[in-house]
Amino acid sequence: MDISAEEIKQFWRGWCERRKIAADLVREGEAEIDKDPEHWADETMDQLLDAPLAQPRLSALLLAGFSLVALLLSAIGLYGVVASGVRRQTHDIGVRVALGATPGTIRRLVLAQVFGVVGLGVIAGLAGALAGSRLLTSLLFEVKPGDPLTLIGVTIVLVLVALLAACLPARRAMRIDPAVVLRAE
């Protein structure tokens, strides 16, 4: 049974119109019975919940925004550190290339250094997350503190960001010309 989008729209329009007509009839009937009726709100559940949920929604939005800024700053910082390290090691990398190192070997060298640092950061971050998650319990919605799926997901995202941040310096290291590096000395 396939129902088109237009049929669904027509159903909801009709339902909303019937609901409004019914609400108006109830108000008219109430006014006939009681000349000073207590007025009740004609609001949807979403409208009723907007005010009480505004503060938690704002907190979640701010937390997500600051998290994205922190992720971006960590990616930029990691890129800067890796690029600086590659620049400092240009001579060493040039010598390795002159002695027969392949671009894949150079890429592995740079990425191994990055993931050594990232591995320490992940371990420290997971320890901090497990220790600090009890403090953030009030901000968590349907997620338990120390939820393994969440921690694994965040770890994967951070490792992917580290990989992206390290790719450009690794490509630069793979393109080092050993003749230019050795002549500069």
**pLDDT at position 181 over 80:** no
46 occurs within a structural domain: no
**Quick one: pLDDT at residue 9?**
79
Does 106 reside within a domain?
Answer: yes
Position of tokens 């580290």?
Answer: 162
**Residue 131 Cα to chain centre, angstroms:** 21
Residue 57 in any domain: the answer is no
The answer to the question of residue 93 being in a domain is yes
- The model's pLDDT over 86-144, given as tens digits with 9 standing for 90+, comes to 888 888 888 888 888 888 898 888 888 888 888 998 999 889 888 887 787 776 767 77
Res 38: pLDDT:
67
Q: How far apart are CA 114 and CA 166, in angstroms?
A: 7
Domain membership flag for residue 149: yes
CB-CB contact of 168 with 87 (8 Å) = no
Print burial letters for 157-183: b (CB count within 10 Å at least 16), e (below 16).
Answer: ebeebbeebbbebbebbbebebeebee
Q: What is the pLDDT of residues 5-38, one digit of tens each?
A: 788 778 778 877 888 888 788 777 777 776 666 6
Residue 26 in domain: no
- Is residue 16 in some structural domain? no
Q: Give the residue numbers spanning the domain of 97.
A: 70-185
Q: Give the number of domains in the chain.
A: 1
**CA distances to 23, 121, 179 from 72, in Å:** 51, 16, 36
Q: How confident is the model at residue 66 (pLDDT cuts 50, 70, 90)?
A: very high
- Confirm whether 162 is domain-assigned: yes
- Return the pLDDT at 40: 67
Structure confidence at residue 120 (pLDDT): 92
For range 167-173, the mean pLDDT: 85
